Structure 1
Amino acid sequence: MADLPRSSSVSKSQWNGLKIAAILIAAVLALPILVVLINVLIADGEVWRHLYQTVLAEYISNSLLLMLGVGIGVLVIGIPCAWLTSMCDFPGRSFLSWALLLPMAMPAYIIAYTYTGVLDFAGPVQAFIRELTGWRYGEYWFFEIRSLGGAIVMLTLVLYPYVYLMSRAAFLEQSENTLEVSRTLGYSGRRMFFRLALPLARPAIVTGLTLALMETLADYGTVQYFSVNTFTTGILRTFYGFGDVSAASQLAGVLLMFVAMLILLERYSRHRIRYHSSGLKKASNRRMVLKGGMGSIACCFCLLPILVGFFIPVSVLAYWAMFKAENPGANFIQLAWNSFYLAAIASLIVVSLALVLSYAIRLNPTRSVTASVGIAGLGYALPGTIIAIGTIVPLAWLDHRLIDFVRHYTGDSVGLIFSGTLVALLFAYTVRFMAVSLGAVQNGLGKIKPSMDMAGRSLGMSPYKVLIGIHVPLLKGSVLTAMLIVFVDVLKELPATLVLRPFNFNTLAVRAFELASDERLVDAAPASLMIVLVGLIPVILLSRSIASHIGSSK
């Protein structure tokens, strides 16, 4: 975006103030990453040597196998479903095209608890097999849900929508004329998919795959519950077990290298690749009609991940919550209120800062401001465990300096002001989810004509008054969307909340995790179901947005 002309009635200090504010916000939000990297360099090597000799190889191998399994799984489900719903016509296509996004509302750790209760040895499925056959334990084989394979399946079921979403958008944008040329060359539908459509969609597919793999690396609840040792479980185990922040930071640094490699691979996959649309009719205007058996197979293939990834676990949770779980009573109301107001405050903070950053880059798209906004959005690529470790260290240092200062001059003790309160949690949430809000706000600002800024400044309005008086009302839809997505993401966040929550403070996510860890899966159902139902809201909004976009493009 070109730099907007500046009105002479607006002082230069106001422009510089906005630029400085953007740089300072980015610097503060980058602090957790910087702290982790510094601790990696200055850490004592004794605990690290112990980890290297005992568990590091297991962390690396399990993390790599988890990424490999989930990567294959999300590609096998996401790409065919995207192709079928965008390029083919078959019974149920309209419903399936948006319903395939529903598993996004299901946190991986919740679907893991649900299927453990159903498929474990004491669950109804194996109990029915034993009752039907008379077999006893050890006399038959059944899939072990609490395993690395089980974690791969659970994560695949909730993460394939990333690949589906990106792939479907890419397929829908492909020109009908391009595909028609392939038909004139004698390409069959299968050959056209593999030789033309799939290579054209590769950048979008790799982007979706990268997002899914970063979420896989960030997962804690699923792998912890299934006793699969990965970097996320190792970081928290080192932090709590050894009480060694430096060693935990060293593990976080290795995990950070994995994340950086994923980002670099995603960018390298788009290196020197340019695919331009012809501006002609989209391929979705002429779908291939699948009749009879082929149509039924396509419908069943797309319906299966929805059933397994959403409807079955939600039905099980609803049954447990209504008929089998203990009455949570007033404690549940307190947990819901804690989760609600914490998510609400976090979403207000994140969106407010995102407005400042987005407006700064709109008015002053210099390298320093652009880089600052990019740095501010790095947190979403990092697991909550890394952000939690990077948050607790500087805030604890600041608390101790304040305690020493107050004790020196007054003799009193003020206690922990930052690291022992919700301030730490809110800061970690802001770092973690800033990128989500930035995307929505920048997209909305991009649709506002620069003439609106010029008109406001010609009336003598400062940049801040233009933002509050003109842009915010026009951005109401984008701002509400950003707030809602951040709200739900905070509600589901587990590892950062586990590390940074104040003493005797719980949320729905933490309570569900605690109950599941105590094997009280049924009692965890009300909290889990509440998280899933709230998570449905942004998924429905996303589905409606995609549907309206597709409808307007036809």
Structure 2
Amino acid sequence: MEIKNLKSFIAPILGLLISLPILILIVYFLFSGSLNKEYLESSFLLDYTLNTSYLIVGTAIFVVIIGVITSYLSARFEYFGSKFFSICFVLPLAYPAYIFGYTYVGFFEFRGLLSQFFDDTSIKLDILNMPGAIFIFTIAMFPYVFILARVSFSMISKTIVELISLQKLNPVNAFFKVYLPLSYPAIFAGAILAIMETLSDYGTVLYFGVETFSVGIFKNWFGYGDLSGAINIAIVLLIFVFSILLVEHNVRKKFRFSSSTNSDEKASKINLKGKWNFLAFLISFLIASITLFIPTSVLIYWTFLDINTLDFTAFSYLFNTLKLNIISSSFIIFLAFFIVYFLRKFPTKFSSITHKLSMLGYSIPGAVVAVGLLLIANYIDKALGYMFFSGSFIILIYAYATRYFASSIGSVENGFSKINSSLDDASKIFCKNEKESIFKIYLPILKPYLLSGFLILYIDIAKELPATLILRPFNYDTLAIRVYELASNEMLYKTGFPSLILVCSTAIAVLLLNYKPKRKMK
């Protein structure tokens, strides 16, 4: 009985450890005297709030528009190139937003790729502003809406389509009155993911001169050496994030639609012909060109432009990236497995609360997580009398675990939900202990789901910039850091080669994730 009670504390303890950097930041702010009323009432903080608000609202609107259009075309219609474009609409996930930003600045700048293509040096466009930043985040984040909404649209049953036919609704009315409302939850969930990723960005907004909360944290910390100011901004950002999550929770309660009917048969895709086939192809081609073909062409062009002086040390940065990502992703996915396993076997109210706390990290920008972890590191290092935690791989992997735990656990929970409870009873009979149960039964069954979670983590961690920039060990650079440094030194064309390597490595993970084999469990 005592052993069972101890095991019931494993999931809560791990959940609290994951959320500790955020909790420490809040406690430190409340009890260390870091509250600065003058700073909180300053015009700087108002500017950060307004800029961040404009950015996420603009991004949310456009990611929904593009995400809905692409997902509806992909899920409901067959047309020339439809399967190819379905891949193209997912691949922008392989691009960090800041690389999109660098490529489009290079594309539109004086004597950029656009002006050279038309052989007219007068063609240029300044996108280093708020509208430009919204454009970049839109093309980088719309796949979140696309992926979730595509699943929702594709799950529309044949019965629903037959009812639409009986009501004699034309395609436009059918879309706005039936298909779109049924997919509201998925679309909204995708938009929230896009907003959270936009909030956590640092590289893009810094380069585009848009002063958001993330830029404010870095500016106060590294520019002015003002940790108190950075903490004040981080706390305001936390409040900002929690407000968004509260709105999301209330909206999600209002929109609970289901496309399930008495018929399990899903509606077949409509085969477009003639002008409709051409129109669908044209829309898809334009979107794919803006979100994938143009940025990739710019990177390839820059690589060839720099062909004689290519810096092959980029492969050493790739090795650093792979090593860090694989170790971090493996650690986090198995951490997620053990937490869900012990939650399933030994559920308590306390473990449910700590589990929800551990999920908050995904909605908290990397810069905020880094601030909280540095407070912990300073305390531990002072107690030990030497640098143990600061500037180590331990603190960086800890940051990734706090930041991205939620993005991996969904896949693990999905896998466990498909395991019949009778298997739990059988494991108690046939397995001598928890170790045998885990390694002989649960891990083999959940292998595909763990792989999916691993790939999601790899993609997210490879693109992470703020936390890596702050917490990485001395002189340990990843591809993301290298690209950021080159762009910061105004050497845009030099970013082509390392950016291509980074994008190719994450693109492989995106494709594997998108085309994982179908799984059946009874």
Q: Identify the TM-score tier after normalising by the shorter chain.
A: over 0.9
Match of 1:424 among 395, 400, 403: 395
Q: Which one has a bigger Cα radius of gyration?
A: 1
Residue 300 of structure 1 is matched in structure 2 by 282
Structure 2 distance, partners of 1:471, 1:539, is 26
Q: Secondary structure at the match of 1:100?
A: helix
Indicate yes or no: 2:267 matched with 1:284.
Answer: yes
How many angstroms does 1:109 deviate by? 0.6
Structure 2 distance, partners of 1:338, 1:13, is 44
Instruction: Trace 1:519-538 onto structure 2 (pairs within 5 A).
Output: 519-538=490-509
Match of 1:484 among 452, 455, 465: 455
Structure 1 residue runs without a partner (length 5+): 1-11, 404-414
Residue 375 of structure 2 is matched in structure 1 by 393
Match of 1:320 among 281, 302, 315: 302
How many angstroms does 1:76 deviate by? 1.3
How many angstroms does 1:119 deviate by? 1.2
Q: Is the 8 A contact 1:103 1:309 kept in 2?
A: yes
Structure 1 distance, partners of 2:495, 2:438, is 44
Match of 1:434 among 381, 394, 405: 405
- Evaluate the alpha carbon distance shift between residue 230 and residue 92 of structure 1 in structure 2; reply closer, same or farther with a 3 A threshold: same
Q: Which amino acid aligns with 1:49?
A: E
Structure 2 distance, partners of 1:444, 1:320, is 43
Residue 101 of structure 2 is matched in structure 1 by 112
Structure 2 distance, partners of 1:75, 1:272, is 19
How many angstroms does 1:44 deviate by? 5.1
Q: Which amino acid aligns with 1:147?
A: N
Residue 465 of structure 2 is matched in structure 1 by 494
Residue 72 of structure 1 is matched in structure 2 by 61
Q: Is the 8 A contact 1:175 1:279 kept in 2?
A: no
Indicate yes or no: 2:257 matched with 1:275.
Answer: yes
Structure 2 distance, partners of 1:429, 1:179, is 44
Structure 2 distance, partners of 1:329, 1:516, is 15
Residue 181 of structure 2 is matched in structure 1 by 199
Residue 368 of structure 1 is matched in structure 2 by 350
Q: Is the 8 A contact 1:235 1:252 kept in 2?
A: yes
What does the per-residue CA deviation read over 1:287-337, in whole Å, with 9 as the maximum and x for residues that have no partner?
A: 334322222111121222222212222232133224415645563333222
- Evaluate the alpha carbon distance shift between residue 272 and residue 153 of structure 1 in structure 2; reply closer, same or farther with a 3 A threshold: closer
Q: Is the 8 A contact 2:76 2:270 kept in 1?
A: yes
Structure 1 distance, partners of 2:172, 2:381, is 63
How many angstroms does 1:510 deviate by? 0.6
How many angstroms does 1:352 deviate by? 2.0
Identical aligned residues as a percent: 34
Give the count of matched residue pairs.
519
Structure 2 distance, partners of 1:354, 1:312, is 38
Q: TM-score, normalised by structure 2?
A: 0.93
Residue 419 of structure 2 is matched in structure 1 by 448
How many angstroms does 1:127 deviate by? 5.4
Q: Is the 8 A contact 1:151 1:223 kept in 2?
A: yes
Q: Which segment drifts farther, 530-539 or 218-227?
A: 530-539
Residue 49 of structure 1 is matched in structure 2 by 38
Indicate yes or no: 2:205 matched with 1:223.
Answer: yes
Q: Is the 8 A contact 2:91 2:507 kept in 1?
A: yes
Q: Which amino acid aligns with 1:59?
A: Y
Q: Which amino acid aligns with 2:292?
A: F
How many angstroms does 1:363 deviate by? 0.8
Residue 345 of structure 1 is matched in structure 2 by 327
How many angstroms does 1:418 deviate by? 0.1
Match of 1:153 among 119, 132, 135: 135
Structure 2 distance, partners of 1:58, 1:446, is 45
Q: Is the 8 A contact 2:77 2:272 kept in 1?
A: yes
Structure 2 distance, partners of 1:326, 1:231, is 40
How many angstroms does 1:96 deviate by? 2.1
Residue 91 of structure 2 is matched in structure 1 by 102
Q: Which segment drifts farther, 319-328 or 517-526?
A: 319-328
How many angstroms does 1:432 deviate by? 1.0
Residue 406 of structure 1 is matched in structure 2 by none
How many angstroms does 1:95 deviate by? 2.4
Indicate yes or no: 2:22 matched with 1:33.
Answer: yes
Q: Is the 8 A contact 1:350 1:434 kept in 2?
A: yes
Q: CA RMSD in A?
A: 2.3
Q: Is the 8 A contact 1:36 1:250 kept in 2?
A: no
Q: Is the 8 A contact 1:120 1:144 kept in 2?
A: yes
Q: Is the 8 A contact 1:220 1:495 kept in 2?
A: yes
Q: Is the 8 A contact 2:455 2:510 kept in 1?
A: no
Q: TM-score, normalised by structure 1?
A: 0.88
- Evaluate the alpha carbon distance shift between residue 513 and residue 169 of structure 1 in structure 2; reply closer, same or farther with a 3 A threshold: same
Q: Is the 8 A contact 2:142 2:194 kept in 1?
A: yes
- Evaluate the alpha carbon distance shift between residue 162 and residue 128 of structure 1 in structure 2; reply closer, same or farther with a 3 A threshold: closer
Match of 1:175 among 150, 157, 165: 157
How many angstroms does 1:81 deviate by? 1.6
- Evaluate the alpha carbon distance shift between residue 219 and residue 254 of structure 1 in structure 2; reply closer, same or farther with a 3 A threshold: same
How many angstroms does 1:502 deviate by? 2.1
Q: Which amino acid aligns with 2:42?
A: Q
Q: Which amino acid aligns with 1:267?
A: H
Q: Which amino acid aligns with 1:436?
A: S
Structure 2 distance, partners of 1:255, 1:328, is 40
